[in-house]
Amino acid sequence: MLGTVLKSRLMTRERILVVDDEEDLLELVNYNLSREGYRVDCVATGESALSLARKHLPDLIILDLLLPSVDGLEVCRLLKGDAKTRAIPIIMLTAKSEESDMVTGLELGADDYMTKPFSPRVLLARVKAILRRKTQDSADDDTAIRVRELIIHPGRHEVLIDGAPIELTFTEFRLLHFLARKPGWAFTRAQIVDAVKGEDYPVTERSVDVQVAGLRKKLGELGSRIETVRGVGYRFKE
């Protein structure tokens, strides 16, 4: 009986797509994720990642940046620009550790960023945190937020200004939704990171500032509603 229950639990676990051209790393990540009960697909190219992601819609993608032909940043850009795959969380796993690479990944909508070499235990913790947050998000209140001509619809993952849709990355949407849910409240950059990315996310203050700057630009005149609180962080103007 216990074996049947365990088998059933494992069969219903989330599906994760791992993309890396290093065979040893694929085997390592596959082993650790499979041992936790996740269903794992492994591919070595960006083209294969795009094809499989669109076909099976995984619950999460672990994506290397340095891939042959189509690199990881381009894969991320294409997935986050497609309404069908936009909501799939992405963890970038790469040997590139420069801040500019991390910022670029975040701007494209990546949900987390880890550098090689990495701890499998830390990777598993990040995976669990993102999937847990994704489940919580789906259970959140689906009520649209309306601020004059601005409408934020969490269920549809849609932002409208005067009825026209505004294209935001996954991260930009979460940032706007988080601030707009409590207008007038000032949040530190650390609080924003915890809410938008998950606890213990290794991100610099510059990354948060870059996201806010990009969001303000896309919102046009309404971008001024995201105010800088000197010495604290940001708030959504009432």
pTM of the model: 0.62
Name the residue with tokens 């960023």: 113
The alpha helices in 58-188, defined as continuous H runs, are 72-80, 99-107, 120-139, 170-180
Most confident of 17-21, 101-105, 118-122: 17-21
DSSP state of 119: -
Percentage helix, strand, coil, to 5, in the chain? 45, 20, 35
d(CA 73, CA 90) in angstroms, rounded, equals: 11
Mean pLDDT of 15-28: 95
What average pLDDT does range 166-176 have in this prediction?
A: 84
Domains (ranges, CATH) in the chain? 2-138 (3.40.50.2300), 141-236 (1.10.10.10)
Torsion sign, CA atoms 57, 63, 66, 71:
positive
pLDDT for 65-97, tens place per residue? 889 889 999 999 999 888 789 889 999 887 766
Q: Tell me how far apart the alpha carbons of residues 53 and 232 are, in angstroms, rounded to a whole number.
A: 39
Query: pLDDT digits over 110-142, tens only?
Result: 888 888 888 999 999 989 888 887 666 554 556
Q: Which of 67, 72, 88 is nearest to 16 (CA)?
A: 88
